[in-house]
Structure 1
Amino acid sequence: MQHIKKAYVSLVLAALVTGCGDKKEEAAADKPASQVAAKVNGTELTVHQVNYALQRIPNLDKDQAKPASLQVVRNLVDQELVVQRALEEKLDRDPRVVQAVDSARRQILAEAYMARKLGTPSEPSDGEISEYFNSHPEMFAQRKIYRLQEVSIQAPKEKHDAIRKQLEASKTLNDFLAWLKAENLPAKVGQAVKPAEQLPAAVLPKLAQMPNGQALVANAPNGLLVLVVADSQAQPVTLEQAKPAIARALQAETRQKAAKAELDALKANAKIEYVGEFADAGTETTAAAAQPAAAKAAAPAADADADAISKGISGL
């Protein structure tokens, strides 16, 4: 039931979004007894609230439904107690709470509009799935598990060329790290074992072709990222095994394209003005620069501007 308890924070947020009205008025409304799941200081918690929370629990089977519903009711009661006290202390008028509620409301409305407008993408055909499989051998037929050494470097753009040259000149990674320290360039070093599907699509084709010990340098939000392939092991998957993942990827791609088209249409029919210090926000260059940064927040490893260092480099 751990995954049910994790939904508690979401429930609290949902209550803040919808619960800043007069709870006493809601309690006064007549509801059939069968629709009431619990009462907290006279405020009714409904079966609809319970069902809504249950719908948000992933992979809930029938055997879990009853105990899950009881846990949800307990969570709702706990939530209601906290919300009532928050309202008594007039936290719904706190500027930070008001901003958070408004931000959540805007996000929910935007997602609801897109969900209704775009609907559910159709299932891709077998031909489309096969084409995707064949065009991404590094993810499927030639899939590998990579053991990587990662060096995340904070550096201004004018230092990037020097860093790349020094990496190529360094005999070991320790030599390279010593140079970064001498140049007062902050760097974080880590190691990770990742399958192909957990690596950014922009750099995976290059990583797949790199021998062990070779380094790759890629742009990162605040500088550069160095990836050294310490080791790799082949673990291919068949077309049949890959079909569900490919179908999801193709549907996500279709949805992203449709969402962009819808957003472009909305922009074309809207009057948009960027004011004051934000006047440059609407220019193509700044918009293009902001998009990779947002993408890297989710997968900060690298973008498409990645260079493989031709010679190998010894690890730590």
Structure 2
Amino acid sequence: MLLTVMNLTACDDQKKKNGQVVARINGEEITAPQLEAELQYAGRLQDDSAAPRQATREQAMEALIDRQLLLDEALRNKIDRDPALIQIIERFKTQAVVQAYLESRSGDQEQPGKAEIDSYFQAHPEMFAHRKVFEVEQLIIADPDFSAPLKAMMDSSRSLSQVAAWLRQNKVAHVQRHYSYSSADLPPEVGSRLQRLGRNHLFVMKDGERDLLCALTELRDSPVTPDAAAPQIERYLMNKKMQEIAISEITRLRSTAKLEYVKKPADSIDSKGSPVVATPPGKQQPVVRKSIEMSGVAGLE
């Protein structure tokens, strides 16, 4: 999306491209520097099973060609003049400039050393050495639909299929799905309770404004070796350091800025009356913890 935005904002400078031409599409040139930039961006997203460089290079070339074709058609249809799109472009431009500034402030930031990576690995066994996978069947309902009669029914039920039949009979809207959680996805206390609970016992997990009526169908070990985990941990630690730099810089700039709220947006306060904290800029962390709470059903305390 960001590369598309940069292409759109540079559409008036198409004739100013420099560098060796590697392809032409309807007269528009794709240059070697553009291809190298695409490869560099793709390299940030690749995992440990990334394709060889030649295959990646060919994929990047085809992606540039596809994007140029779509861009030409979008410009022909004057999509770039849509006011809503112009706002999106400006937002992404701002994010790109801010990210570049934060990276410049980080200077020659050292890569995490082996000792730091090993320490993180040892401190989080639930994510790596003792990682487990929980296979869970779920019925997803809106939070207000989790009534006392439904809870009582789950307490006496022996299977999730019986709960699904009760929901259909009482015309409670629901979605059924199968989901896999790893112990890295869940808060440690939830993972521990699931292990104690065992298979086929019913329980409830809250996920925001939804209730997940669940049954654990399978529990298996899925350890990650130190060598396999090292690149993931390194990316996470680098991201964490970048977030710390962002927070420090924002704090410094706010302390010297003359800030005046002419009209404070109503949605700047959450439902509990607390200020909404902005997420510091940075790449997505490799380990994402879901905001899930677990409550007892069928004898689970």
Give the TM-score, by structure 2 length.
0.71
SS of residue in 1 equivalent to 2:299: strand
Aligned to 2:194: 207
RMSD in angstroms over aligned alpha carbons? 4.1
SS of residue in 2 equivalent to 1:150: strand
Aligned to 1:295: none
Query: What is the distance in 2 between the residues matched to 1:299 and 1:123?
Result: 17
Alpha carbons of structure 1 residues 103 and 232: separation in structure 2 relative to 1, 3 Å: same
The reply on whether 1:36 has 2:21 as its aligned counterpart is yes
Query: What is the distance in 1 between the residues matched to 2:293 and 2:275?
Result: 18
Query: What is the distance in 2 between the residues matched to 1:240 and 1:72?
Result: 28
Gap regions ≥5 residues in structure 2: 44-49, 280-285
Aligned to 2:214: 227
Aligned to 2:159: 172
Q: CA offset at residue 173 of structure 1? A: 1.8
Which amino acid in 2 is paired with 1:140?
F
Aligned to 1:4: none
**Matched-pair contact (CA < 8 Å) for 1:160–1:224:** no
Deviations 1:129-177 (A, max 9, x none): 4554444333334332322112222123x95777555533433323333
Counterpart mapping for 1:1-316 below 5 A: 12-19=4-11, 21=12, 23=14, 26=15, 35-39=20-24, 43-58=28-43, 59=50, 61-64=52-55, 68=57, 72-73=60-61, 75-77=63-65, 79-118=67-106, 120=109, 122-124=111-113, 126=115, 128-156=116-144, 159=146, 164=151, 166-181=153-168, 184-197=171-184, 199-201=185-187, 203-239=190-226, 242-270=229-257, 271=259, 273=261, 275=263, 278-282=265-269, 285-287=273-275, 302-309=290-297, 311=299
> Which has the larger helix fraction?
1
Which amino acid in 2 is paired with 1:214?
H
Instruction: Give the length in aligned residue pairs.
Output: 284
Q: Structure 1 vs Structure 2: percent identity of aligned residues?
A: 24
**Matched-pair contact (CA < 8 Å) for 2:269–2:276:** no
Which amino acid in 1 is paired with 2:198?
P
Gap regions ≥5 residues in structure 1: 1-8, 292-297
Alpha carbons of structure 1 residues 109 and 57: separation in structure 2 relative to 1, 3 Å: same
Query: What is the distance in 2 between the residues matched to 1:49 and 1:257?
Result: 31
Query: What is the distance in 1 between the residues matched to 2:186 and 2:126?
Result: 12
**Matched-pair contact (CA < 8 Å) for 1:124–1:251:** no
Alpha carbons of structure 1 residues 214 and 261: separation in structure 2 relative to 1, 3 Å: farther
Which amino acid in 2 is paired with 1:123?
P
Query: What is the distance in 2 between the residues matched to 1:196 and 1:211?
Result: 15
Which amino acid in 1 is paired with 2:246?
A
Decide which moves more: 178-187 or 47-56.
178-187
